[in-house]
Amino acid sequence: MFGRRKKNEAPEESAEVTELAEDATSDESAEPGERVILPPAPRPDGPWDASEVKEPGEGRVDLGGLFVPGVEGMELRVEVAGDAIVAATVVLQDSAVQLQAFAAPRNEGIWGEVREEIASGITQQGGVIDEVEGPLGWELRAQVPVQLPDGTNGVQVVRFVGIDGPRWFLRGVISGQGAVQPQAAGVLEHIFRDTVIIRGDAPMAPRDPIVLKLPDDAQMVPDGVQQEPAEGSRFGGGVERLERGPEITEIR
């Protein structure tokens, strides 16, 4: 879903990272000018790898590649790219967090590089970026230009958060009141931290999305029923807008 960064890339390096990149374990042999490979940071408070949780389905909604914590009164919307479900958005009152998981190299964190790419994309759109260390680690707080329902230009404030795990990367986009009010953000940050990622053992190229599925007991909301137009949604995706798929309402 992210374009690969070309900066500091050796001429002979291919656009796709090979399995050898996953096996890299240190940066001791790095030449001057090469990008330093940094391992994922510790995650004492989550998000969790499947190997770290005995019962991932306890208190969480099973989306296949993600187990998302259930919160009373929340709506869970899945979003699609082509025929695949690749993102889930938890909407809670006037706030939302979009969750999207990707494959990553075995011993390399990619959040730092992804932050640079997101920041570059938003500034090219005329937006404003502030990189800060927040409750979930380093994040981007962005003011993104949007067109309002009445046709005028406005600004959407969003927070891009991310965590590197073992062979996966979880990105979150917090929007609505959760992007501007710490009190509203607390529950969304908890949802992000307590999410379990099911990477699986199948070979995947770094940055390939981890595909999700609908829960077995999903209550489908037909298209056009109590849904905001994608163009005017306060809870749209990140830099790249995804097509909205079916909605699931979870009342716990």
Domain ranges of the chain: 48-249
- Burial class of residue 106 (count of CB atoms within 10 Å of its CB; 0-12, 13-18, 19+): middle
Whether 29 and 151 have beta carbons less than 8 Å apart is answered as no
Q: What is the pTM of this model?
A: 0.74
Residue 36 — very low, low, confident or very high, per pLDDT cuts 50/70/90?
A: low
Residue 98 identity (one-letter amino acid): Q
If we measure between CA atoms, which residue out of 149, 61, 64, 159 comes closest to residue 118? 159
Backbone phi and psi for residue 115, each to the nearest 5 degrees, phi listed first:
-60, -45
If we measure between CA atoms, which residue out of 49, 45, 22, 2 comes closest to residue 198? 49
pLDDT at 193: 96
Is the four-CA dihedral 39, 112, 243, 88 of positive or negative sign? Answer: positive
Domain 48-249 has CATH 3.40.1000: yes
State yes or no: pLDDT of 75 exceeds 60.
Answer: yes
Q: Alpha helices of the chain — where are they, by DSSP H?
A: 19-22, 111-124, 182-193
pLDDT at 238: 37
Instruction: Tell me the per-residue pLDDT of 208-246, one tens digit each, with 9 for 90 and over.
Output: 999 999 887 665 554 444 444 333 332 333 333 333 433
CA distance 190 to 195: 9
Instruction: Tell me the per-residue pLDDT of 86-118, one tens digit each, with 9 for 90 and over.
Output: 899 999 999 999 999 999 998 889 999 999 999
Strands (E), 8-166: 48-49, 60-62, 66-69, 75-81, 84-92, 95-103, 128-134, 137-147, 153-165
